[in-house]
Amino acid sequence: MHIHARTLKYFDMIKRCNSIREAARHLHVSASAVNRQLLQLEEEIGSPLFDRMTGGLRLTAVGELFARHVTTVLQDQNRLVSELDALRGIRRGELKIAAVEGVNADVLPNVLETMATRYPLVKIAIVNGGSSVVAQAVADGDADIALGYNVQRSELLRQYAVGRFHLGAIMRAEHPLSQRKSVTFAECARYPLILPGTALSTYEQMRPVLMNHKRPLTVVMESASIELARTMAIRGLGLAFQTRIGIEKEMRDGTMVHLPLAGTKPILSELGVYARDGRWLPPAMDALLRVLSDELARREAEEVRS
């Protein structure tokens, strides 16, 4: 079986776009050229790689298997480029982080500032999504590193670092509960609440608490956006629930308070750093993983001291 590198790139772009026409646009070639490459590849493989659906293309079982192979091959190609650059003494690279929204406020700015100071030639792109989405982006080869909460274990992912943070209620400093060291959900339920949307890992953590609470709740909003929930809480419209990650500035300014949820045992959220298992780490990526690991360790230690 002889498959050219160009064919692999065409297949990878079709997979990403779920469309031959859209893939052609990104590759700056004609749709007929992309389709011809795909048909030749399927003939070489001996099986369809995509189901042709009315809404676009979808990988077949054979296509899923081949896609994993292509991801490995393309990452190995990038590895070769990085190794050649390292031999030339070039400290550069391009990396993509897929991260949950909450780390945009303080964690990632610190990490990016450190990277820019130490490795000014390394370009880093950031995309946001829910924890399952960012993990899948790394598994699919669409991102180099994922930063997410309570990511489910997968044979495709390796956890390089983790920080454990208390899930708690966030509120304005003027709120009647703000002077407590911790708070129960029953105490929070006496006030208007801003609950996490079902797409968030926070919702899964809070679901047992919500199920066990038998009294009516005053819910002003359910939101899958950590940023929106934080903004509503700081405006005094309700109590929201999250870790202290994402409200660091407001806590330093004294405008917001984070109170761990008390119960039979604390509710801890694991903020983890993930990369594709088995892939070689270019120097720039290895450096970024170390910076992320140090940042999470520092913040976890700060929470323990507070």
State the Cα angle at 101 between 282 and 181, rounded to 5°.
115
Classify domain 5-67 at the CATH topology level. Answer: Arc Repressor Mutant, subunit A (1.10.10)
**What 3-state class would DSSP assign to 168?**
strand
Classify domain 91-163+270-305 at the CATH topology level. Answer: D-Maltodextrin-Binding Protein; domain 2 (3.40.190)
Report the alpha-carbon distance of residue 265 to residue 207 in Å, rounded: 15
Contacts of 56-65 spanning 24+ positions with Cβ under 8 A: 56/18, 56/19, 57/14, 57/18, 57/19, 57/20, 58/18, 59/15, 63/15
Q: Spell out, as residue ranges, where the chain has pLDDT lower than 50.
A: 87, 89-90
- Tell how far CA 80 is from the center of its chain: 26
Q: Which two tokens stand for residue 113?
A: 């500032």
Report the alpha-carbon distance of residue 143 to residue 127 in Å, rounded: 9
Burial class (CB in 10 A: 0-12, 13-18, 19+), 253: exposed
Side chain identity, residue 302? E
Confidence at residue 107, expressed as pLDDT on a 0 to 100 scale = 96
Which residue in 148, 151, 195 sits closest to 169, CA to CA?
195
DSSP 101: G
Q: Which two tokens stand for residue 302?
A: 């700060």
Question: What values do phi and psi take at 246, rounded to 5?
Answer: 110, -15
Which residue in 261, 287, 253 sits closest to 105, CA to CA?
253
Q: Which two tokens stand for residue 235?
A: 């405006």
Classify domain 168-266 at the CATH topology level. Answer: D-Maltodextrin-Binding Protein; domain 2 (3.40.190)
pLDDT in tens, 153-207: 999 999 999 999 999 999 999 999 999 999 999 999 999 999 999 988 899 999 9
Start and end residues for every CATH 3.40.190.10 domain found in the chain:
91-163+270-305, 168-266
pLDDT in tens, 24-53: 887 877 888 888 889 988 888 889 999 988
Confidence at residue 84, expressed as pLDDT on a 0 to 100 scale = 64
Q: Using DSSP bridges, classify how beta strands 122-128 and 93-99 pair: parallel, antiparallel or unpaired.
A: parallel
- Are 136 and 154 in contact by the 8 Å Cβ rule? The answer is no
Question: What values do phi and psi take at 184, rounded to 5?
Answer: -90, 160
Q: Which two tokens stand for residue 104?
A: 């945009």
Q: Which two tokens stand for residue 258?
A: 């984070």
